[in-house]
């Protein structure tokens, strides 16, 4: 069972219904800014990862993992509700969908993201996962706030044609077609969500459109990462945290 202790934080899998409820409370606070439970049908079939302060036990970060045997099961994923993913059905290796990632809004410590990725790396290695994917979210639904970020995604980080997700959701921003601007690199990185930024540093790629999700008050892009494509130096850093 995944268990990782690094500095001020412990990472572990949820073991009880109370553990899962704690994650759901943190998700609601992070996504909606209020007390409550963020719950959906995927919680019952996912593995939930918790990052806690070692001294206090306070939950500061969580995410969930949906393991798939390969691309033939891609239709079971959360992402498949919003993206037409038939191109990925031919992917043969084990896959994992990483979802509902959030960090407590009152906590500002970059080590939390690093420890979370260390835990994810441990899971990927232990289970011989070959692709990691999910939805990476921008806060709010106004694409004008993120035009430089979307322009950079179009210029440098679009998915390979064989894996490229097609439009399925009723409302999308087709930045791959509509944007004609040259990105301001500094502004693009400032506006890029931290989780997506980490995916991109490892060689991740995205869909050519963002889904407008008014229920979650986000714009999100499908994000994929082929494990074999991660640069060796980056793999060593991640495994150093995971070790």
CA pseudo-torsion sign 70, 72, 78, 82: positive
- Please report the pLDDT score of residue 187 as a whole number: 95
Backbone angles phi, psi at 25, to 5 degrees: -70, -45
Tell me how far apart the alpha carbons of residues 120 and 114 are, in angstroms, rounded to a whole number: 10
Residues 6+ positions from 108 with CB-CB distance below 8 Å: none
* 209 within 8 A of 175, measured Cβ to Cβ: yes
* pLDDT (tens digit per residue) in 204-234: 999 999 999 999 999 999 999 999 988 888 8
- The mean pLDDT value for 156-163 works out to 96
Q: What is the DSSP letter of 165?
A: P
* pLDDT (tens digit per residue) in 67-122: 999 999 999 999 999 999 999 999 999 999 999 999 999 998 988 998 999 899 98
* pLDDT (tens digit per residue) in 179-204: 999 999 999 999 999 999 999 999 99
Inform me whether the pLDDT recorded for 130 exceeds 60.
Answer: yes
Specify the pTM. 0.93
Tell me how far apart the alpha carbons of residues 233 and 235 are, in angstroms, rounded to a whole number: 5
Q: Which two tokens stand for residue 186?
A: 């500094």
Grade residue 136 by pLDDT with cuts at 50, 70 and 90: very high
For residue 140, is it left (φ>0), alpha (ψ between -120 and 50) or beta?
left
Tell me how far apart the alpha carbons of residues 236 and 231 are, in angstroms, rounded to a whole number: 9
- The mean pLDDT value for 133-152 works out to 96
Inform me whether the pLDDT recorded for 1 exceeds 60.
Answer: no
Query: Length of the chain, please?
Result: 243
* pLDDT (tens digit per residue) in 35-71: 999 999 999 999 999 999 999 999 999 999 999 999 9
- Please report the pLDDT score of residue 233 as a whole number: 84
Q: What angle do CA 38, 96, 218 make, to 5 degrees?
A: 40
Residues 6+ positions from 230 with CB-CB distance below 8 Å: 202, 203, 238
Q: DSSP E strands: which ranges in the chain?
A: 3-6, 9-13, 47-53, 59-68, 83-84, 95-103, 131-139, 166-167, 172-173, 205-206, 210-213, 218-226
Inform me whether the pLDDT recorded for 243 exceeds 80.
Answer: no
Distances (CA, A) of 22 to 63, 137, 150, 162, 178: 12, 21, 33, 39, 41
- The mean pLDDT value for 119-148 works out to 95
In the three-class reduction of DSSP (H, G, I as helix; E, B as strand; rest coil), residue 48 is classed as strand
At 185, which helix (H) or strand (E)?
helix 185-191
State in words which class domain 3-140+160-168+218-242 has: alpha beta
Inform me whether the pLDDT recorded for 151 exceeds 70.
Answer: yes
- Please report the pLDDT score of residue 22 as a whole number: 98
* 204 within 8 A of 228, measured Cβ to Cβ: no
Spell out the domain ranges in the chain. Answer: 3-140+160-168+218-242
């Amino acid at each position: 069972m995944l268990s990782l202790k690094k500095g001020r934080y412990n990472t572990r899998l949820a073991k009880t219904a109370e553990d899962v409820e704690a994650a759901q409370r943190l998700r609601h606070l992070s996504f909606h800014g209020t007390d409550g439970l963020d719950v959906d049908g995927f919680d019952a079939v996912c593995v939930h990862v918790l990052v806690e302060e070692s001294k206090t036990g306070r939950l500061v970060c969580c995410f969930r993992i949906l393991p798939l045997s390969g691309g033939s099961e891609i239709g079971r994923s959360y992402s498949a509700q919003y993206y037409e993913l038939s191109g990925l059905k031919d992917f043969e290796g084990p896959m994992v969908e990483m979802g509902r990632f959030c960090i407590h809004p009152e906590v500002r410590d970059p080590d939390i993201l690093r420890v979370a990725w260390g835990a994810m790396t441990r899971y990927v290695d232990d289970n011989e996962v070959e692709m990691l994917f999910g939805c990476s979210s921008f806060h709010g639904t106004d694409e004008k706030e993120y035009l430089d970020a979307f322009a950079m995604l179009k210029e440098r980080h679009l998915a390979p044609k064989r894996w490229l997700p097609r439009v399925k959701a009723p409302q999308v921003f087709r930045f791959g077609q509509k944007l004609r601007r040259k990105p301001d690199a500094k502004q693009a990185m400032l506006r890029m969500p931290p989780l997506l930024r980490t995916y991109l540093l490892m060689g991740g790629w995205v869909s050519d459109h963002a889904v407008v999700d008014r229920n979650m008050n986000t714009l999100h892009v499908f994000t994929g990462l082929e494990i074999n494509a991660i640069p060796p130096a980056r793999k060593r850093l991640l495994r150093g945290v995971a070790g």
